A and B are shown apart, each in its own frame.
Chain A
């Protein structure tokens, strides 16, 4: 069974803390994505990567960075967490011959106090 695994389901952090969200996929997919999901706003793309060590900004990259050192792993970093980054974060992957199917992890719910 294909799988995208996010390291933490629930996190509570304080303003100013550095936060790492890890994502691992076992499908040998080239493409990986980080979204955040907020009520009424839907899923918004933060960053994506088409290959190892490659990254591209999505629609809302401010306050975030990413790292892709290995094909299967894509990390989202919040250098200095703020309360407006409280959200559900979803990692996804897809193959290079994209047919419209993104495979999502279960999500990481981050609360910044």
Chain B
């Protein structure tokens, strides 16, 4: 079983739609959680951290469910520019070690 699992997609949605991605992780000792965004043929970049209480950044909302060991990302009012691959990332026990999921591809259509 992979440590961090994501549906690879693609999720094809029209502009303005709301779309949600989930991700599950296997290590119950994980302490930190993030979403990264990777545009086609570009490097990954941090989108947002995920906090236990949930957090919002504009149109993006991230949630963490420790009991079920899953993380979600909700994107409201999708824009064409949101088209990218979204990587679920889980911190390991300590230090700077991160485990990346395989990514979920989002395609927003006009």
Binding site for B on A (CB under 8 A): 31, 33, 35, 40-45, 48, 50, 90, 94, 98-102, 104-107
Contacts and interface: CB of A to CB of B under 8 A. Distances in A.
20 contacts: A33-B96, A40-B8, A42-B100, A42-B102, A43-B44, A43-B87, A44-B100, A45-B97, A50-B95, A90-B43, A94-B96, A98-B95, A98-B96, A99-B49, A100-B49, A101-B46, A102-B44, A102-B46, A104-B44, A104-B45
A35 B100 CA distance: 10
Interface in B31-89: 32, 34, 42-46, 49, 87, 89
A109 to B, nearest CB: 9
B46 A42 contact: no
A31 B32 CA distance: 18
A94 B4 CA distance: 21
A43 B100 contact: yes
B102 A102 contact: no
Interface of B: 4, 8, 32, 34, 42-46, 49, 87, 89, 91, 95-98, 100-103
Given A42-B102, A43-B100, A100 B34 contact: yes
A65 to B, nearest CB: 19
Given A40-B8, A42-B4, A31 B96 contact: yes
Contacts of A45: 97-98
Nearest to A105: B43
Contacts of B46: 100-102
Nearest to A90: B43
A105 B44 CA distance: 9
Nearest to A97: B96
A35 B97 CA distance: 12
Contact of B98 (A40, A41, A102, A106): A102
B102 A41 contact: yes
